[in-house]
A and B are shown apart, each in its own frame.
Chain A
Amino acid sequence: MNNQKLFISSHAPYWHNMSSISAKSCHIMLAALPAVIMGIYQYGIPALGVVTFSVSCAMFWELIMNLVTKRPVSIGDGNAAVIGLLFAMLLPATTPWWIVLIGTFLAIIIGKEIYGGIGCNPLNPTLVALAMIMLSWKSYIDFDGALVNYDLAFLMKYPLEALKHFGTSAISEHTAVGLLMGRQSGGIGATFGLGLIIGGLYLILRGYIRWEISLSFLVGVFVTAFLFNISDPVTYAGPVFHLLTGYTLIGAFFLATEDSSSPVNFIPMLLYGAGAGCFTILIRNIGAFADGTVFAILLFNVANPLLDKIKPKAMGKGLEHA
């Protein structure tokens, strides 16, 4: 019998706070559940189909990519599932299966894996996929067309589209409370404002996302929308309407806060959030698209490495010649 006792040797520290990527992914999905469940409740089985299919497709693409590139299987970290879930939350409930299949392919492979996997993507994978789908198959992402057969107990016109074409008179029926409770058409998991806020606050308090980004994004949206609103109240809606419609809340809590494509230092986080929020409203109000969240966040993803150059001076640095 081999009675030699061997000890594990490694470098300090020998403690860990037991956090892990998979735990983080689980908590993000948990936080997204209230909004997803509300979406499924409103739009029924088709919404459930899109969500489950999107999550499984995302994991499937990641697995395929792991096998093709002969890398360790990484679907266990849950990041692919998070991307799949977030992608589904942005889609209309009636999205055809092949859009979901292609969308998740774009998110996982083009958005993340070709850069080297988790942590290496310069842009938010979910938004990369959605932007490509929006530009390529616009009619399938058009909420008014996609949800034409639904008649829920509220105004079924997509609020941002209505605002764009008919001004504030078209959205006068929407109340803040109604929008907060999900009484608006839109993405499966993007309309239930209260659920998204609860999920976001949960993630912030648990330390999984940064309050700096979420808060400054919302402030950016609010201030810019407010300035537009006071300049011309007939054409431009008020800040509260912009905060509660479209992808604003899901963007603030789930999309802009994606780790790899967002800054880590304090001032850059504020700039990043505020900038993305501001651009969201600029695109909505004077740009070509009804909702600017997707492109605004992507734009600031690109600016992220530059913003993160604003960093505090390290201890003892620059003292050599003092």
Chain B
Amino acid sequence: MIKKPFFGLRKPKLKYPVEDTIKLDSINEIPLPLRVTLLSDNNERSDDVDLKVGDKVKTGQLLGLSEKDGDYLISTVTGTISEISQYTGYFGKTCASISINAETEDQWDEEFIKAVKAPASKNCVKFLRRLPGAPSLSSVLSNESSVKTIIINGIDKDLLTVTNQLIVKTGVESLTEGVRYLKQITNTDRIIIIVPPDLTYQAEKTGAEVRVVKPLYPNTLPHIQMKNIMGITVPPGKSFEEMGVCFISAEAVTALARVFNSQEFPIYKRLTVINKDSRTFNVRARIGTPVKDILNTLDIETIHGDRLIMGGPMTGNAIYSDEMPVLPDTDAIMVQDKDQIIQSSDTHCINCGECIRVCPAKIPVNMLIRLLENDMFEEAAEEYDLLSCVECGLCSYVCMARIPILHYIMLGKHELSQLKMLEESSE
């Protein structure tokens, strides 16, 4: 944990780990788990899709969930479906969960190989959404796409996480290939790669435009990158795609290269595991591997009352069970000792102004929190810029009264979207 510096005149500096903490030769392979679980984005599983417990699936097989919007999962193992259920996640969002008992021998699915055989064709595009790194390419690949620029993130969003940095460092060849394929399948003008200063040399070889960012949080958040690198400020409520920019992680680009080069669906996800003492492990695991298996392989013990986080210390999501699988967009797993957990409090805001000085979006957080505490969400959005929040979490990080400010903000945004949906449906 990075504590308050002795001299407190300036903003806190949250630096990324220095390079020598990244041990290159030590990528820990996680053995094939007995059972993998795949989660969908939403719970739109229609009955017309023929998927039931006991079905045999092959590696790389498409598991359709809904005919209508083409939602699907891709099996990362060969085995038998053992359970189809529902998982409740963040903000009560439910999604379909499919568990597969894995066999040791991988058999590759024919359909995928066939689709990929015709290179750079759009046949395989439908497979790409479930690539490791979860690229949101569907908007780029559609013909009426307004995306002019693709930004490849060679630096991870959160602190202590080095997944994408490591990929830039060690996988320049496949990254270069990936950039080439990306140019072929999309019709964007610019491809930019964003890297920390020490990876400039590697990034220059990829053939993409190189932009260097200071490895300082929150410089690495998409909204801040848009402002600093593209010079575009995203208005509240607009997506990056609407502003003509699409973000994709370096890992997804290398996965793309793998799809076209070796005609094999990338079933492995690279991630950073952050131990209780902030030491990190680089890990390669199959998508769908339960967190428990990864922690067991690394000999990390968890006890009652610890905290498990999918993602890094500033933006991750806490999970309540170590059965939770690795998802295509899980870049880090963090384990926090129960002694390190800071309890939030329900003290009032004391108006010290620390959050105001640290907020990258210049939101009047001291006023916003007063409205949010009193459920005045619409006023909060209109008068005190609730929707400008870029969700960096720095306000909660510096709050002297230990108010869970970001939690209130996320709740406010959620409630506001519910209100909006209610209004639209009543019209």
Chain A residues with a Cβ under 8 A of chain B: 5-21, 24, 74, 77, 116-120, 204-208, 210-211, 259-260, 262-265, 308, 311-317, 319-320, 322
Q: B341 at interface (Cβ–Cβ under 8 A)? A: yes
Among A7, A11, A262, A316, point to the contact of B306 (Cβ < 8 A). A7
Which 10 A-B residue pairings sit nearest by Cβ, starting from the closest? A207-B8, A264-B353, A13-B393, A314-B385, A11-B407, A119-B348, A315-B361, A119-B350, A319-B235, A314-B388
- Main DSSP-derived SS at the A contact region: loop
**Contact in complex: A16, B1 (CB < 8 Å):** yes
Q: B385–A317 contact, CB under 8 A?
A: yes
In the complex, whether B225 has a CB less than 8 A from a CB of chain A is: no
B342 contacts which of A16, A116, A317 (Cβ < 8 Å)?
A: A16
Which of chain B's residues has its CB closest to A262's CB? Answer: B351
Which stretch in B99-107, B164-172, B185-193, B308-316 binds the other chain? B308-316
Q: Is B259 an interface residue (CB 8 A)?
A: no
Q: Which residue from chain A places its CB closest to the CB of B303 in the assembled complex?
A: A5
Cβ contacts B227-270/A at 8 Å (1 or 0 each): 10000011111000000000000000000000000000000000
Residue ID in chain A nearest B344 by CB atoms: A10
A19 to B399, CA, bound (A): 7
B140 → chain A closest CB, angstroms: 23
Residues of A within 8 A of B9 (CB): 204-205, 207, 211
In the bound complex, residues from chain A placing their C-beta under 8 Å from that of B159 are 15
Residues on A with C-beta less than 8 A from B394 are 13
Q: What is the 8 Å Cβ interface bit string for chain B, positions 363-399, against chain A (1 contact, 0 not)?
A: 1101100000000000000000100101001101111
Taking the nearest CB of chain B, how far is it from the CB of A112, in angstroms?
11
22 A-B interface contacts by CB (under 8 A): A7-B305, A7-B307, A7-B321, A8-B305, A9-B319, A10-B407, A13-B393, A14-B307, A14-B341, A15-B2, A16-B396, A17-B398, A206-B8, A259-B351, A260-B350, A264-B353, A264-B356, A311-B364, A313-B362, A314-B363, A314-B388, A315-B362
Min C-beta distance of A117 to chain B, whole Å: 6
Whether A9 contacts B320 by the Cβ 8 Å rule is: yes
B426 on the A face (CB < 8 A): no
Query: Which residue in A9, A119, A208, A265 is a CB contact (below 8 Å) of B349?
Result: A119
Partner of B400, one of A21, A262, A263: A21
Contact of A259 with B352 in the complex, beta carbons under 8 Å:
yes
CA distance A61 to B328 in the complex (A): 57
Tell me how far the C-beta of B45 lies from the nearest C-beta in chain A, rounded to whole angstroms: 26
Chain B residue numbers with a CB within 8 Å of A118 are 347-348, 350
Q: Given A17-B12, A316-B235, A316-B236, are A12 and B315 also a contact pair (CB < 8 Å)?
A: yes
Query: What would 15 more interface pairs be, CB under 8 Å, given A13-B406, A265-B364, A314-B364?
Result: A5-B302, A5-B303, A8-B306, A11-B404, A12-B314, A17-B12, A19-B354, A205-B9, A206-B8, A263-B353, A311-B364, A314-B361, A314-B363, A315-B363, A320-B237
B401 at the interface (CB under 8 A from A): yes
**How far does the Cβ of A17 sit from chain B's closest Cβ, in whole Å?**
4
CB contacts (< 8 Å) of B233 on chain A: these are 315-316, 319
* Contact of A12 with B406 at beta-carbon distance under 8 Å, contacts A7-B302, A18-B4, A315-B227 already known: yes
Closest-CB distance, B102 to chain A (whole angstroms): 24
Q: What separation, in Å, do the CA atoms of A120 and B374 have in the docked complex?
A: 14
- B318 in complex: contacting residue of A11, A16, A116, A311, CB < 8 Å: A11
Alpha-carbon distance A246/B237, docked complex (angstroms)? 54
Q: How many Å lie between the Cα of A5 and that of B291 in the bound state? A: 14
| B contact residues, range | 35 or more
Please measure, in the bound complex, the distance between the C-alpha atom of A237 and the C-alpha atom of B105, giving whole angstroms: 93
Give the residue of A74, A120, A316, A322 whose beta carbon is less than 8 angstroms from that of B361: A316
Residues of B within 8 A of A117 (CB): 348
B314/A6 in contact, CB under 8 A:
no
Residues of B within 8 A of A24 (CB): 352, 400
Query: In the complex, what distance in Å separates the CA atom of A15 from the CA atom of B313?
Result: 6
Docked CA distance A16–B1 (Å): 7
Nearest B-chain residue to A77, judged by Cβ: B347
**Closest beta carbon of chain B to A169's beta carbon, Å:** 43
Q: Which of B1, B348, B350 contacts A15 (CB 8 A)?
A: B1
B350 touches A8 (CB 8 A): no
CB distance from B161 to the nearest CB of A (A): 13
Measured in the bound complex, the distance between the Cα atoms of B167 and A193 in whole Å is: 59
Residue of A nearest to B9 (CB): A207
> Are the CB atoms of B401 and A315 closer together than 8 Å?
no
Partner of B410, one of A11, A313, A320: A11
Contacts of A210 in B (CB 8 A): 353
| Residue in A closest to B292 when the chains form the complex, CB atoms | A5
How distant is the Cα of A56 from the Cα of B105 in the complex, in angstroms? 74
Q: Is B338 an interface residue (CB 8 A)?
A: yes
Closest to A9 in B: B318
Q: How far is the CB of A4 from chain B (nearest CB, A)?
A: 8
Q: Separation in Å of the A176 CB from the closest CB of chain B?
A: 28
A19 touches B315 (CB 8 A): no
In chain B, what residue has the closest Cβ to A116?
A: B348
B372 CB, nearest partner CB in chain A, Å: 13
Q: By the criterion CB–CB under 8 Å, are A14 and B336 in contact?
A: yes
8 A Cβ contacts from B40-77 to A: none
Check if B334 is an interface residue, CB within 8 A of chain A.
yes
B304 is an interface residue with CB less than 8 A from chain A: yes
Report the bound CA distance from A322 to B232 in whole Å.
12
Contacts of A265 in B (CB 8 A): 353, 356, 364
Say yes or no: is B3 at the interface (Cβ < 8 Å to chain A).
yes
Instruction: For the complex, give the distance between the alpha carbons of A19 and B398 in Å.
Output: 7
Question: In the complex, what residue of chain A is closest to B304 when comparing beta carbons?
Answer: A5
Q: Which residues of A contact B235 (CB under 8 A)?
A: 316-317, 319-320, 322
The reply to whether A316 and B234 form a contact with Cβ atoms under 8 Å apart is: yes
Residue of A nearest to B316 (CB): A12
* Residues in chain B near residue A18, CB distance under 8 A: 1, 3-4, 342
- Expressed in whole angstroms, the Cα–Cα distance for A18 and B319 within the complex equals 23
